[in-house]
Structure 1
Amino acid sequence: MAPYPLSEQMTAFIEKTVSFNSTDSSITGLRQAYSEMCRAFTPERPTGLQVVDFELDGVAVRSYQPPTSGASCIVYLHGGGWVVGDFDSHDFICVELASTLGVRVIAVDYRRAPEHPFPAAFDDCLKVWRALLARPFQLDPARMLVAGDSAGGNLAAALCLALRDTGEPLPCAQVLIYPGLGGDPRLPSRSECIDAPLLSSTDVDCYHALYLQGTRHPNAYAMPLLATDFSGLPPAWIAVAQFDPLRDDGVLYAGRLKAAGVAATLYIGEGLVHGCLRGRGQVAEVDALYETLFGYLAEKL
């Protein structure tokens, strides 16, 4: 791997993360190794936070309800290349968002590839959004925000595109953290970060192939950067990691939103790598990302 100018804290975080890598490259092996790694980075939940699992229109969801929460709600879509990850893998950030901001968080356990390729995950996220706006929940979309990291950022952007296209109520904002949006493989970050820690360009290609299998001509709901019209979408906060082959996906998406008249804030995470959200409290650069993220969410909610 080429040298990347990483801080000592980030290097230590990466070393701990990769220590859970397995020689079993099967889908089952990848999921088990990923889950073990995630557990090692998941802190205890604070007392008073009510966590309940249930289903909405056949899709598994998990609700995080802090002791004092108003009508605001964050719908969170987890990362993991559409292949790995679940409720538990991203429990850490859902707990953090709910407890720090005092808002309800709904996490979506969408179906994963390769067993369920596109559009399964996208369809599940759309079902949950619509169910939250219907009875008995009837949440106010003006107080709802959709957020996601990596593949979850892809699904969040795709959800916004679909809702706009059908004229349905939109979230008050979309928050995408190092999202994979289907950018051209020739984007500079693909070659500059070809063997970046925790996510290589080859990894990106593999995840795309598993998610899009059987899809001969992907559309914007699969890869949002394929959209031809970015107008009328919710305001966006987009964070990218400096050493991430997907960096330019987020940069390009922010630029296209702005060109279409949509408010978009781009956070360039200097010294960050893909998947670094678990470095909260361990890596100063990650803590800075969280503080900026919380500031934006507090304004919107």
Structure 2
Amino acid sequence: MARRYPMSDAMQAFVARTQAFTEPDPSPAAQRAAYQRMALAFTPSRPPGLRISELCLDRLPSVRLYRPVGSPPDAGWPTLLYLHGGGWILGGLDSHDFICAELAAELGALVVAVDYRLAPEHPYPAALHDCLAVWRRLYDNTLGEPVDRARLLVIGDSAGGNLAAALCLSLRDAGEPLPCGQVLIYPVLGDADTSARALCADAPLLSRADLEACLSAYLPHAGDRRDPLALPLRADHLRGLPRAFIAVAEFDPLRDDGALYRDRLREAGVAVDYFAGAGLVHGCLRGRDIPEVAELRGVLLETLRRWLC
């Protein structure tokens, strides 16, 4: 018997509206089309006062840039590299457009969204390599907008949270400059049988079976799941990583991934702000008129303002 999750009325309505776009055809093309329809249904008008452009980079993924209209600060824009969720299989520039636009408008920052390659056609490490390539272009100031390197961070949700954490690990291990912070929103960080995977096995919007299907598509080869750049909780140590903001959702099989990563970062001497996500479900960042999500959004923006000031 499926577990009943004590969600608020507003969250239940969000879940029901999202589930209305469920697509029975399991093919990636059909699932991507359904995900896109769902994302667009939740997309409000972009906030005013933004300049938005796209770049198709030679041998790199397309990127979309969001920044306030007007001249940049003398030191360059405070900048966020945004890595979208979707289980490494779904999503793109349009699915998270409103989130990126809102961040740019609220923070007065440049936001760069990455249209990284998707699994199963492009399994690990393709998406990570794409994100790293864009990061390096961004750090080198070759995307056409001046960037303040001292206020340059990475943010991702779900699979994008995985990629953000892996990006930081990869840069650290290569001895390259690190972001000033990493923001991980209900991230995928491991594959262990945690209590959350058992308690939230049939959670709304992301079940344990859904999660396993995503992991299998992204990490199809024997040994992939032992690679810390695929699953950052596999890292031998987390010393030397940038400060983190980690947000999880209560009704999510991934809940313990974020908590475990928080604990390991703190043990390694890394500062962590943690949001426990009471009443939240996976993928809820796109929800509107939900008090629990508004709280998450408020804490996230407050943290980012503090980091970027």
State TM-score, norm by structure 1: 0.96
Aligned residues: 299
Judging changes above 3 Å, is the alpha-carbon distance between structure 1 residues 178 and 169 closer, same or farther for their aligned structure 2 residues? same
Indicate the SS of the match to 1:142.
Answer: strand
Which deviates further from its counterpart, 30-39 or 208-217?
A: 208-217
C-alpha offsets along residues 90-144 of structure 1, whole Å, 9 cap, x if unaligned?
0111011001111110000100000000000000000001111225356343210
Corresponding residue number in structure 1 for 2:139: 133
Aligned to 2:218: 211
Per-residue CA distance 1:201-246 (angstroms, 9 max, x = gap) = 0111100000001353431111101001100000000000000000
* Contact 2:49 2:105 (8 Å CA) reproduced: no
Unmatched segments (≥5 aa) in structure 2? none
Contact 1:183–1:248, Cα closer than 8 Å, also in 2: no
Q: Deviations over 1:130-189 (max 9, x none)?
A: 1112253563432101000000000000000001111111000000000001141x1000
> CA 1:241–1:135 in 2, change beyond 3 Å: closer, same or farther?
closer
Equivalent residue, structure 1, for 2:282? 274
Is 1:221 paired with 2:229?
yes
Q: Is the 8 A contact 1:190 1:201 kept in 2?
A: yes
**Whole-angstrom distance in 2 between the partners of 1:161 and 1:80:** 21
Structure 1 position 193 matched with structure 2 position 200: yes
Instruction: Give the direction of change, closer, same or farther, for the CA distance of 1:76–1:266 in structure 2 (3 Å limit).
Output: same
2:275 counterpart SS class: strand
* Corresponding residue for residue 103 of structure 1: 109
Separation of aligned partners in 1, 2:259 and 2:149: 26
Shift of 1:27: 1.0
For 2:64, the equivalent position in structure 1 comes to 62
Aligned to 1:72: 78
* Alignment-derived partner of residue 26 in structure 1: 27
The answer on whether the counterparts of 2:89 and 2:119 sit within 8 Å (CA) in structure 1 is yes
Structure 2 distance, partners of 1:23, 1:133, is: 42
* Alignment partners' CA distance in 2, 1:245 and 1:106: 29
What's the counterpart of residue 283 of structure 1?
Answer: 290
Aligned partners of 1:151, 1:160: CA distance in 2, in Å? 14
SS of the aligned residue for 1:242 comes to: coil
Task: Give the Cα–Cα distance (whole angstroms) in 1 for the partners of residues 262 and 141 of structure 2.
Answer: 34
Q: Deviation string for 1:258-282 (max 9, x for gaps)? A: 00000011110000000001113x2
Q: Which residue of 1 aligns with 2:170?
A: 162
CA distance in 1, matches of 2:270, 2:152: 18
**Any conservation in 2 of the 1:38–1:89 contact (CA below 8 Å)?**
yes
Cα distance in 1, alignment partners of residues 104 and 32 from structure 2: 26
Matched, 1:246 2:254: yes
Question: In the aligned structure 1, how far is the partner of 2:47 from the partner of 2:287?
Answer: 18
Q: 1:263 aligns with which of 254, 271, 282?
A: 271
Deviation at 1:291, TM superposition (A): 0.3
Secondary structure of 1:243's match?
A: coil
RMSD: 1.2
Quote the residue 2:186 is aligned against.
178
Cα distance in 1 for residues equivalent to 2:304 and 2:23? 36
- Contact kept, 8 Å, 1:170 with 1:234, in 2: the verdict is yes
Worse-superposed segment, 167-176 or 41-50: 41-50
For residues 48 and 9 of structure 2, the distance between their equivalents in structure 1, rounded to whole angstroms, comes to: 33
- Cα distance in structure 2, aligned partners of 1:212 and 1:11: 32
Identify unmatched segments of 5+ residues in structure 1. Answer: none
User: Alpha carbons of 1:111 and 1:215: their partners in 2 closer, same or farther (altered >3 Å)?
Assistant: farther
- Equivalent pair of 1:141/1:169 in contact (CA under 8 Å): no
Is contact 1:13–1:279 with CA below 8 Å preserved after alignment? yes
Identity of paired residues, percent? 54
